[in-house]
Amino acid sequence: MRLTTIGTGTASPSPARVNAGHLVEAGAVRLLVDCGRGVVHRMATLGIDWFGITHLALTHFHPDHTLDLTTLFYAWKYGTLPQRTAPLQCIGPPGTAAVLARFAELYGGAMSAPSWPLEVTELPRGAGLDLDGGTRLDTLAVPHCEESVAYSIQRGGRRIVYTGDTGESESLGEWAHGCDVLLAECSLPDAMAIPAHLTPARCAALAARAAPGRLALTHFYTVVEREDIRGAIAPQYGGPVTLTWDGWDIELEEH
């Protein structure tokens, strides 16, 4: 199983980071989780096979996680020849179909008439489903907005947990316990903490509870990058910490 962080930024414009989007490759599954602004072109920059994505999953509907859906649909239909014909499963919390319908109303074209079979699967928060070939996806409601979820993706004895956007949550730490990689948002400095997001100290508490094999941080507002993030994590979590960038990846050997 392989995780690639494609977009590690936020609504706070960064010269180095586009909005949120991450690729999980697990067997035949090529799952793009979130598709914020800039993710499609970043995939092209990184040489990632954007055409071969088999599944999409949305953590929530904020624009820094969804704005490039239209870009991606248009790329699949009009950006290359032949057009995409392979089926796509789009997974998300309740409301996902309505969001796609609004994009379709606004933009038409590939959004209203994709050239491939589009299956939309709305998962109640806390539900999961089996993807093709032994890959399991599960969700957990997280405190960020009405629909927001974290995702767990498991295959071959390996497990990746992505928090999506979240505030502090003890249940998230318990749910993620023992995962191989915990990809956690780290939006704001502790001095600017708000309930809807994590900070370095909150990431430290989350990692202490979850005890992942590796803590990978993402979703940085530019102000948090001036903080000593590693210094805030170290007293509570002694495992490896990665401050991810657009294009960081990690391969997890399956058992």
Q: Which stretch binds Zn ion (CB under 5 A): 76-84, 123-131, 157-165, 226-234?
A: 157-165
Shortest Å distance, C-beta 56 to Zn ion: 16
Residue 164 or 212 with smaller CB distance to Zn ion: 164
Told to check if 64 binds Zn ion by CB under 5 A, we report yes
Q: By C-alpha distance, which of 221, 194, 190, 227 is closest to 205?
A: 190
Q: How far is the CB of 61 from Zn ion (least distance, A)?
A: 8
Among 25, 165, 168, 246, binds Zn ion (CB under 5 A): 165
Burial 27-58 (b: 16+ CB within 10 A, else e): eebbbbbbbbbbbbebbeeeebebeebbbbbb
Smallest separation (angstroms) from Zn ion to the CB of 10 = 5
Helix (H) or strand (E) holding 75: helix 69-78
Q: For residues 106 and 84, give the distance between their C-alpha atoms in angstroms, rounded to a whole number.
A: 21
Smallest separation (angstroms) from Zn ion to the CB of 144: 6
The full DSSP string for 177-218 is: TT-SEEEEE--S-GGG--TTS--HHHHHHHHHHH--SEEEEE
Query: Residues binding Zn ion: what is the number (CB under 5 A)?
Result: 3
Window of 42-50, 97-105, 111-119, 158-166 that interacts with Zn ion by CB under 5 A:
158-166
Task: Give dist(CA 109, CA 18) in Å, integer.
Answer: 25
Please answer whether residues 93 and 147 qualify as being in contact, where contact means their C-beta atoms are separated by less than 8 angstroms: yes
Smaller CB separation from Zn ion, 9 or 173 = 9
Does residue number 62 form part of the binding site for Zn ion (CB under 5 A)? yes
Specify the residue, 6 or 26, whose C-beta has the smaller distance to Zn ion. Answer: 6
Please, which residue, 180 or 185, has the CB nearer to Zn ion?
185
Site string for Zn ion, 109-138 (x = CB under 5 A): ------------------------------
Which tokens sit at 162? Answer: 């992505």
Would you tell me which residues interact with Zn ion (CB under 5 A)?
62, 64, 165
